Amino acid sequence: MSYQPKVYRKQGGAEQVIADGGTLTVESGGTLVLASGSTLNDDGAVRNVRVRATAAEINGAGGKTVLAAKAGYKYRIVDATLIAIGGNASGATSVDLVTTQAASAARPLVVSVAALTQSARVSMGEAPAAGASTILADGASFIANDANTGVFLAKQAAGSDLATSTHVDCILTYVMEKA
């Protein structure tokens, strides 16, 4: 009878394996350190980021970067919330999340400026008022974006500039998937 432990070092010593049923425990006071340039393979893990964008950043060419493009990966949006800070939004038609799907710009979340009242939370697909937020048809807002592309917060294309509110917070829940 042979015995194979659930945690072992592969032959050659370059890889530690935690097999099915095995556990890696970092005890109190212990630290797991990932050196610069190393990666943690957590494909499929749900992540969250909060970005505060000024009106000037939202009005600028390309908008404010919420998630920068990462080589070899694609983002899939799970949920998003926008909150106007420093006053009610005005001027622009909408503030949108902008991504790339099938090599074209896509807007998986479009929030009308009328819905962006100071400190009010407007989330994907919720409609506190008629037309407050719009998502893409047939669930397209929730499919993975093209590989090697980012996610941005911008005013409606070719529309007037966002005014009055000083900032817009974007709280984005997403999954990063290997391309």
**73 or 24, greater pLDDT:** 73
pLDDT at 130 over 60: no
In a domain, 53, yes or no: yes
Domain count for the chain: 1
Q: What secondary structure does DSSP assign to 51-118, as a single string?
A: EEEEHHHHHSTT-EEEE---TTEEEEEEEEEEEEESS--BSSSEEEEEEEETTEEEEEEEEEGGG--B
Count of CB atoms situated within 10 Å of the CB of 31: 5
Average pLDDT score over residue span 69-98: 95
In a domain, 10, yes or no: no
Backbone phi, psi, residue 71, to 5°: -55, 130
Average pLDDT, the chain: 89
In a domain, 27, yes or no: no
Bridge partner list, 49: 172
- Residue 118: its pLDDT value, please? 95
Domain that holds residue 133: 45-178
Check which CATH number belongs to the domain holding 163 and give it: 2.60.120.1330
